[in-house]
Amino acid sequence: MEKTVKKTSAKSVKKIEEKPKEKKEHYFEATGGRKTAFARARIYIKKGPILINNKDYKEYFASPMNQRKIFSPAELMSVTDKFSATVMVFGGGINAQSEAVRNALAKALVKFNPDFKKKLRHAGYITRDSRMVERKKYGLKKARKAPQWAKR
C-alpha cells in the first residue's frame, strides 16, 4: 500500500488577502422573564441610550414607575452613566415586560462584573419570579370562582 502525497505548487496556493478586521462592539448579553414576558438584554460599555424594541425607554415605558423599575439594578450598582443597552422584549403586559427587562439587565450586569451578584441577588433582581396565572377549570367561572350555589 503506497500513500500518495500530493504536493502543491506555489501557483496552486491562493494568497489569502488580509482584510482589515471590523471592530466589533463588545457586549454582555442575558435573558430575563416574568410571567409570559421575555426579554433579551445587551449591555455595551459605552455611554449611550437605552433602547427597548428599537425605541427609547421613555417612549416604550411611559409610566415613571416602570422606568425606575428597569433602572433599579444599575442604580443599585451605581453604573447608570457607564453603559448603554439594547433590549428586545415581547409577551405579557407592560408591567411584566418591565420586570423582565429588569431581570435581564441585572443578569447582564453580573456577566459584566461577577462582584455585583451578591448585592443584586439580595435585592431580588437576579431571581426570576416564577408565579404564573392559574388555568381556568371546567365547570368554574374562573380558576377558582364557582357559580353561585342555591340551596333551593
Instruction: Report the chain (152 residues): mean pLDDT per 10 consecutive residues.
Output: 58 51 78 95 92 95 94 92 93 95 96 95 94 95 94 86
- Could you tell me the fold of the domain covering 27-122? Ribosomal Protein S5; domain 2 (3.30.230)
Taking a C-beta distance cutoff of 8 angstroms, is the pair 66, 95 a contact?
Answer: yes
Question: What is the pLDDT, as a whole number, of residue 142?
Answer: 96
Distance from C-alpha of 82 to C-alpha of 84, rounded to nearest angstrom: 7
Domain residue ranges in the chain: 27-122
- Is pTM beyond 0.95? Reply is no
The pLDDT of residue 37: 96
Q: Over the Cα atoms of the chain, what is R_g?
A: 26
**Helix, strand, coil abundance in the chain, percent, nearest 5:** 30, 20, 50
DSSP string, 79-132: -TTS-EEEEEEESS-HHHHHHHHHHHHHHHHHHH-GGGHHHHHHHT-SS-----
How far apart, in whole angstroms, are the C-alpha atoms of residue 35 and residue 33? 7
Categorise residue 58: left if φ over 0, alpha if ψ from -120 to 50, beta otherwise.
alpha
